[in-house]
Structure 1
Amino acid sequence: MLLILLVLGACGTPGPEFAGVAPVRVKLGASVFDIRVAGRRAEAIRLNPRPAMRLASVGVPAVLAIERVSGCRVDRLRGDQAMMRAALDCGAGAPEPRRRETYLECDAFDLDADGGALICYPF
C-alpha cells in the first residue's frame, strides 16, 4: 500500500530544475498538463488518465500548452507521454543543450615525495 501511495505521489512531481516553480494547469481537449517554466526551459507533466502510448500522441497538445504559458516558441521537446521537457526560443534562440555531469573515479599509483600517477575513469 505504501508503494502505491509513493508512486501516485510522484506522478505530478517536477524535476529538480523546476522544484519550487508553481505550475500552471492547462487543459487542451482531452489533455491536462501542469506547465512549469524556468528561464528558457519548460516542463509539462500530463495529468489526465487517458492512455497515451507514445510522446507523439500527446506532443502537439504539450507544445501548445507550453507555448501558451511561456509566450515562447518550443524549439525542442523531449521526454515521454507523461513528462516532457522543452527548450524555448524566446527571440534569442533556444538555450544550448545541457551537458551531462561527468563524475570521475580516480586511482593514485606510485605515490612518493616526488609525486606519482593519477588515473581517472568517468562513470
Structure 2
Amino acid sequence: MLVMRYALCLVVLMLAACNTPSPGFRGIDPVRVKVGPSVFDVRVQDGQAEALRINSDYAPRMGPIGPRATLAIEQVSGCTVRRLGGDQAMIRASLNCGKVDAPPPVPPSYSCAVFTRPADGADGARIEEIVCDPV
C-alpha cells in the first residue's frame, strides 16, 4: 500500500511539471504559438527565451523541433535567435535584438502552416516553408 502511495505522488508531480517554466522564466506569462504540428508556450526575458513544447507530437530528438522552436521564439520576441539549446521539450535561446530596448508587442497566438514542395537535385529532396499569421 505504501508503494502505491509513492507511485501516485510521483505521477502527480510529473504531471504538475509538464508546463512549468525554468526558474529564470517564472512569473512571465507565456505566449502560445503553433508552428506546423508543434505547439509552444514561449516566454522572453532579458535577451533570453524559453519555448516549452506542449503538444504530444512524437519528437525523439531536437532535429525537426529546432527550426519550429526558432520560428516561434522569433515571432514572439521580435528578435533573431543567436543560439539554440535544450532538448525537444524545453528549448532555450539567446536572442540578438539589435538596438531595440524591448521586444515589440505581439498578438496572443499565431496560426502557422507548413508547405512542402519538391526541390531540384537529389531524388526525394523537399523544401519546407513555414507561413504564420497572427490570430
TM-score using structure 1 length? 0.73
Whole-angstrom distance in 1 between the partners of 2:64 and 2:89: 11
Provide structure 1 residue ranges, at least 5 long, that are not aligned to the other structure: 93-123
Deviations, residues 58-89 of structure 1 (Å, cap 9, x unaligned): 00000000000000000000000000100000
Alpha-carbon distance in 1 for matches of 2:36, 2:85: 21
Secondary structure at 1:60 match in 2: helix
Quote how far apart the aligned CAs of 1:11 are. Answer: 1.1
In the alignment, does 2:41 pair up with 1:34?
yes
Residue 80, structure 1, aligned to residue 81, structure 2: no
| Residue matched to 2:67 | 60
Distance 1:54 1:89 in 2: 25
Any gaps of 5 or more consecutive residues in structure 2?
1-7, 100-135
SS in 2 for 1:48: coil
Runs of 4+ in 1 over 6 A off after TM superposition: none
Structure-2 residue corresponding to 1:51: 58
Percent of paired sites with the same residue: 57
- Higher relative contact order (CA closer than 8 Å, sequence separation 6+): 2
| Secondary structure, aligned partner of 2:10 | helix
Distance in 1 between residues matched to 2:66 and 2:14, nearest whole Å = 23
Corresponding pairs, count: 92
